[in-house]
């Protein structure tokens, strides 16, 4: 418990019990002179000005009335500052983008690699099938079979081989391109920096009060006034 400005008789003082959210991180300034964090303080009776602040929150200025010989409870809920809300939006967007940059390009590259592998395997199989039909054509003595090979099966096998080769070339090109893009994106990701929160409300709050130092000495944090929202 802190006692401030006790120059009158005991019956002219009262207590304030302060409940500030977020609990555990609130600070406040009493009458523009003293910066405190105590949950309970004793003051002279009458109105007193308070400015409350907590990290990431907006300052809140109000007047609390002390009743002589009584304990008055005051509850204060601090809202997030505009700077922090903006920072959170930017940080969340950065996290989402970074997650995509981290996992998206590699996943696309792997998919392209699988497609390329399947396409190459298809082209190799088409080549083997065509070679087998060519061998059969060269060794066959069955006239009807030779005609079927020449007019149908071998042309179909040639068509399949051309299609398979085209797909293999395309998929291989996509795989190489995606791998290169993935590498460039990964390198760029290493140079990206996450948003940094600058608590301007803290700077303003620090500038409103005399800061005590060693041996009860101290300095003023600033020599001009900023409006409190």
| Positions in the chain short of pLDDT 50 | 1-3, 5-10, 214, 216-229
Measured distance CA(63)–CA(4) in Å, rounded: 16
Confidence at residue 211, expressed as pLDDT on a 0 to 100 scale: 55
Measured distance CA(209)–CA(64) in Å, rounded: 18
Confidence at residue 53, expressed as pLDDT on a 0 to 100 scale: 96
Confidence at residue 225, expressed as pLDDT on a 0 to 100 scale: 36
- Domains of the chain with bracketed CATH: 2-80+199-215 (2.60.40.1120), 83-191 (1.10.287)
79: its two tokens? 């809202």
Q: Give per-residue pLDDT as tens, 102-160.
A: 899 999 999 999 999 999 999 999 999 999 989 888 888 888 888 888 889 989 999 99
Q: CA dist 67 to 11, 49, 76, 130, Å?
A: 10, 14, 18, 102
Confidence at residue 220, expressed as pLDDT on a 0 to 100 scale: 46
Beta-carbon-side half-sphere exposure of residue 175 (alpha carbons within 13 Å): 17
Confidence at residue 23, expressed as pLDDT on a 0 to 100 scale: 87
Helix, strand, or coil (residue 78):
coil
Helices first, then strands: H and E counts in the chain: 4, 10
């Amino acid at each position: 418990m802190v006692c401030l400005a006790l120059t009158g008789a005991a019956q002219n003082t009262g207590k304030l019990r302060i409940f500030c959210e977020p609990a555990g991180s609130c600070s406040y300034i009493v009458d523009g002179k003293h910066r405190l964090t105590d949950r309970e303080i004793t003051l002279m009776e009458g109105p007193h000005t308070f400015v409350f602040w907590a990290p990431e929150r907006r300052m809140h200025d109000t007047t609390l009335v002390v009743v002589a010989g009584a304990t008055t409870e005051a509850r204060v809920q601090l809202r997030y500052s505009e700077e922090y809300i903006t920072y959170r939006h930017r940080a969340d967007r950065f996290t989402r983008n970074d997650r995509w940059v981290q996992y998206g390009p590699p996943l696309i590259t792997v998919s392209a690699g699988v497609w390329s592998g399947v396409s190459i395997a298809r082209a190799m199989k088409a080549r083997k099938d065509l070679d087998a039909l060519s061998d059969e054509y060269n060794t066959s003595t069955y006239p009807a079979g030779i005609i079927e090979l020449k007019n149908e099966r071998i042309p179909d096998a040639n068509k399949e081989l051309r299609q398979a080769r085209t797909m293999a070339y395309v998929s291989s090109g996509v795989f190489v391109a995606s791998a290169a893009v993935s590498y460039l994106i990964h390198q760029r990701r290493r140079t990206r920096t996450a948003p940094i929160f600058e608590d301007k409300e803290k700077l303003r709050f620090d500038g409103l009060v005399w800061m005590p130092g060693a041996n009860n000495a101290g300095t003023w944090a600033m020599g001009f006034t900023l409006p409190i929202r």
